[in-house]
């Protein structure tokens, strides 16, 4: 399964250990799904960690390395990070906590799901 995690999921995973987002990241690290990421999406994650969570350059560099090793990089043709990344990477799912995106339900045939729904799907396929 190929998935794009929204920046809010990555930020939650990296700042709130033990939560659902952390479980999703662990599942990806364990090879249960293939993560997709683009440079703009990675930039958004790093920007939020730097601005809102005061991560310094070294922390941001380690995070960038982790994301680079965790996810397959795709080059979307659009600046709408998550949606473009999902289309460019032929994702099966977009995982987000963004209510507006969740209300869409689908984007160009790609299902948009909550973090809880993603974890339930991984659990049922194990």
pLDDT score recorded for residue 79:
62
Q: Can you tell me the mean pLDDT for 22-28? A: 95
Please report, for residues 22, 99, 120, the alpha-carbon distance to residue 126 in angstroms, rounded to integers and kept in the order given. Answer: 18, 28, 10
Mean pLDDT over each residue of the chain, to the nearest integer:
94
Q: Can you tell me the mean pLDDT for 37-54? A: 95
Q: Can you tell me the mean pLDDT for 41-58? A: 96
Considering the entire predicted model, what is its pTM? 0.89
Closest CA to 9 of 88, 85, 106: 85
Q: What SS3 class is residue 3?
A: strand
Angle (nearest 5°) at CA 98 between 76 and 9: 75
**Third-level CATH fold of 2-125:** Rossmann fold (3.40.50)
- The string of pLDDT tens digits covering residues 61-120 is 999 999 999 999 998 776 668 999 999 999 999 999 999 999 999 999 999 999 999 999
37, pLDDT greater than 80 = yes
């Amino acid at each position: 399964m190929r998935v794009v995690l929204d920046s809010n999921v990555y930020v939650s995973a990296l700042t709130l250990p033990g939560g659902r987002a952390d479980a999703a990241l662990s599942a990806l690290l364990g090879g249960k799904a293939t993560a997709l990421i683009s440079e703009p999406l990675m930039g958004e994650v790093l920007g939020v960690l730097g601005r809102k969570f005061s991560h310094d350059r070294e922390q941001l560099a380690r995070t960038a390395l982790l994301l680079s090793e965790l996810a397959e990089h795709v080059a979307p043709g659009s600046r709408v990070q998550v949606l473009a990344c999902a289309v460019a990477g032929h994702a099966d799912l977009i995982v987000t906590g963004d209510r507006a995106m969740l209300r869409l339900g689908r984007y160009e045939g790609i299902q948009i799901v909550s973090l809880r729904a993603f974890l339930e799907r991984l659990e049922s396929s194990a």
